[in-house]
Amino acid sequence: MATLKPLIFVALCGCSDLQGYGGAAPVLVTFDVTANGDLSTVRSPDDTSAPDLQIALVWGQQWLIEPLCILPPDPAPPDTAESVNALIAAGCRDPFGFVPARVAASTPITLGTPAPLDLFSIPASDLMVGDLTARVAYGSMILYDDKDHNGTLTLGRPNRPMDANRPPDTTPVDTSDLVYGASFISMTQPDQRVAFRQGAFVQSGFYPRAGCADPGSGFSVLGAGGFSAADAVAATLAGTLPTEDPTTCTNTLAAGTQFSLAVRPATGLNELRCTERATDSSIRYREPDGDAPDLTNRTSACVHSPSFGAQSDIIEFVISGRTEDSCVGLTHYVLKGCSESPTCGSPDWDHSLAPPPWWPC
């Protein structure tokens, strides 16, 4: 089945990037960026600090959205479809959205005034998708208020319930930076993205642009009109990729290309300041031990384990992050299973015959 970036992903591979041999690093490419709009109309009335506006080029990552966020809700007693929908709204990011991986460069900007952004390095091999003969990286220009004044966009990470065995790359990270615009927000919206290609090009589910011309070798700037979520799901189930309208496709050299960003409310762009674990999707299955999870300011629901086929008989208790967290996320508790799956052959725990007293499903 052909892959769609948020649904099924190809493996990352590559080798380490070559380093310079000394001296000042040369500028590889300069992007021209302009941000337009009235920031006062989109800022929170409670935000009275002087804005520290910056533009960042942020490379995107592959990320596997979990089925609960894209399939019709399948509630389990005592919950209903409405409660599961509330959980999805509180804990799922846009299945087709741009997922930041790493900030490549950042520079101050004044609204209405063009700003040059210099890039001194190519994307690292772990940011490029494909093999050594054909791989590509995609990036978004992001306008943000550098609230912590550290000169870069601080990427947050979801704050899930504490786990003594938490892998290092899932440690919660809060961020105070606010995003006010971007050139690439979601594949369901028109986008303008930076591309870097090495070798040949193979169209894949990594932010696909089926119907558009291939990116050129090296740096380029691509544009597309976007596709609907319904078309994306239908195409994936059919084993294809959703296509772009060819008349909306653009493909230009990076040098001299103008990026023009419109100021938007930060509340709709919070996901652009949040990275994700790239290795195995966001799903973490947890053992429901004797201590109930802290549900303060969290949304929760009982659901049948999501399945593309018949209804599953596995029941999950799923909870969202806190309302005050920088980034959204979900955590799954199952009575029987492993951290990687509720259907593992040799479960690490089994409380199916004696659930803990707090178990609500």
> What pLDDT is recorded for position 35?
97
Q: Which two tokens stand for residue 187?
A: 């594949």
pTM, 2 dp: 0.86
Long-range contacts of 83-87, Cβ-Cβ distance < 8 Å, separation of 24 or more: 83/301, 84/301, 84/303, 86/299, 86/301, 87/299, 87/300, 87/301, 87/303, 87/318, 87/319, 87/320, 87/330
* 285 strand-pairing partners: 332
From first to last of the 361 residues of the chain, give the pLDDT tens digit: 334 443 332 332 333 344 444 567 899 999 999 999 999 999 999 999 999 999 999 999 988 888 888 888 899 999 999 999 999 999 999 999 999 999 999 999 999 999 999 999 999 999 999 998 999 999 999 999 999 999 999 999 887 655 545 555 556 788 999 999 999 999 999 999 999 999 999 999 899 999 999 999 999 999 999 999 888 888 877 888 999 999 999 999 888 788 999 999 999 999 999 998 755 555 778 899 888 988 999 999 999 988 766 678 899 999 998 888 999 989 899 999 988 888 888 999 999 999 999 999 9
Q: What is the C-alpha separation between 290 and 359, in angstroms, rounded?
A: 9
Interior/surface letters 253-285, b for 16+ CB within 10 angstroms, e for the rest: ebeebebebebbebeebbbbbbbbbbeebbbbb
Q: What are phi and psi of 334, to 5 degrees?
A: -130, 145
Q: What is the C-alpha separation between 247 and 110, in angstroms, rounded?
A: 32
Residue type, 346: S
Q: Chain-centre distance of CA 272, in angstroms?
A: 7
Q: What is the C-alpha separation between 55 and 259, in angstroms, rounded?
A: 11
> What pLDDT is recorded for position 11?
30
Q: Which two tokens stand for residue 123?
A: 């994307």
> What pLDDT is recorded for position 168?
54
> What pLDDT is recorded for position 71?
82
| 29-36 vs 115-119, strand pairing mode | antiparallel
> What pLDDT is recorded for position 312?
82
Which of helix, strand or coil describes residue 325? coil
> What pLDDT is recorded for position 264?
96
Q: Cβ atoms within 10 A of the Cβ of 113, count?
A: 9
